[in-house]
Structure 1
């Protein structure tokens, strides 16, 4: 379900795509500059409220691979071994949990940012991305920068990602269904074969997308969209600003 909008309508689906992109960019910069627990908690609260308003079910959440859990557990063990304040006193044993808390905060920060981006992708149609990027970057046209080309590239990247992910899954499934070869090939040969098949699939998809864009009037049609921000967008930005102002206010 990643990079594919969940069926609406909802108040979040009706927001302008540029508003969601601006909010996501501002929150990402804010969390990068001030990765505090209140800011991370405010982001988690915002993601939860947004998902609830958008009607996103928990079944949309992808499963986490086991190897990722192993990495998290191993990383937490190493951070505990590094110690650091504050310290826990368990009888004669003193354990510093400062490193573990930093690891937990960084992991929570990454999870919050990923969740924010995923919720935006679930509530935003891909066709609305290019016009929003072109509108937001319009002041850069004064410098002679190719704003429309950037918007088209961004939109095509979002469009092609789900397609390629599906094609790669089909390639992997087809390879598993192949009968065993009499002569076992080397790992290097298998890698080259898979990469070649992936390149062929990507080129075929790119050709099909290029033909579809040409039939619909060229890349200029991708950025042409009458959507503009409205009062809902102003209200959403005000709510986000209020949440993070309260979260970052000392005391």
Structure 2
């Protein structure tokens, strides 16, 4: 299941979303992160869901495919919902137990926050699935260029973010290989008490950390051999080309945000 994780992966394609400038996609995602807080009732959240579903279809991605690749994220969503379910008070008392009470405000708030978090995860996943790590690095560097006046190492920061993002699927694949190797040796990870399961994960974490440090060292050596010295003396092989469709995408997101803000209650 870990090998199917979509976080940090890139899937080549020829959709409209794939062909957008990576800077436009990052700006749209940032705007959506703000817009998602405008929804405060069922109509707004329904529009958010329809908007994200439309973007997913435009990117040529299947919702089932995204669901299968984000199953582990469901744990976070369920935890978020349960926290609001038990700790948010107000409204009608639905369940009055000895140790806890569940009230209508907790259910509504839990559903709202869970939907909000799920939409943010989906929209950022669409961004990484339709944008290569190289394009993301170039886009982040271009967008953060004004920060160079503050003597911030913009290029190095963008490079580290891109490398970290690309390391996620690599480590997921490595983890699954180690788990399969340990299972073949008789280790069990799904049976027994919680303590025994945690102890069984120790032979997984140790080789995983060793592999991660080894890969990081190999990457550092490869970059050094190729003469990488940060931004000094570097030019871009790929030139980002801003087109009218990129401006149109940002305007569309802004219009959606204005409409969502106008229908607030």
TM range (shorter): 0.7 to 0.9
Q: Is the 8 A contact 1:39 1:244 kept in 2?
A: no
- The structural deviation recorded for 1:5 is 2.2
Per the alignment, in what secondary structure is the counterpart of residue 250 of structure 2? Answer: helix
Query: 1:194 is matched with which residue?
Result: 204
Which of these residues, 228, 240, 251, is aligned with residue 253 of structure 2? 240
For residues 12-27 of structure 1, what are the structure 2 equivalents within 5 Å?
12-27=17-32
User: Which whole-Å CA distance do the structure 2 matches of 1:199 and 1:172 have between them?
Assistant: 14
Per the alignment, in what secondary structure is the counterpart of residue 18 of structure 2? Answer: coil
Structure 2 unaligned regions, length at least 5: 95-101, 189-195
Query: 1:43 is matched with which residue?
Result: 48
Structure 1 unaligned regions, length at least 5: 89-94
When normalised by structure 1's length, the TM-score is 0.80
- The structural deviation recorded for 1:140 is 0.8
- The structural deviation recorded for 1:85 is 2.4
1:31 aligns with 2:36: yes
When normalised by structure 2's length, the TM-score is 0.77
- The structural deviation recorded for 1:20 is 1.3
User: Which whole-Å CA distance do the structure 2 matches of 1:146 and 1:73 have between them?
Assistant: 36
Per the alignment, in what secondary structure is the counterpart of residue 4 of structure 1? Answer: coil
- The structural deviation recorded for 1:96 is 4.5
For residues 224-239 of structure 1, what are the structure 2 equivalents within 5 Å?
225-239=238-252
1:113-146 Cα offsets, whole Å, 9 max, x none, are 1111111111111110111111001111111111
For residues 104-119 of structure 1, what are the structure 2 equivalents within 5 Å?
104-119=111-126
Q: 1:59 to 1:82 in 2, by over 3 A?
A: closer
Q: Is the 8 A contact 2:81 2:110 kept in 1?
A: no
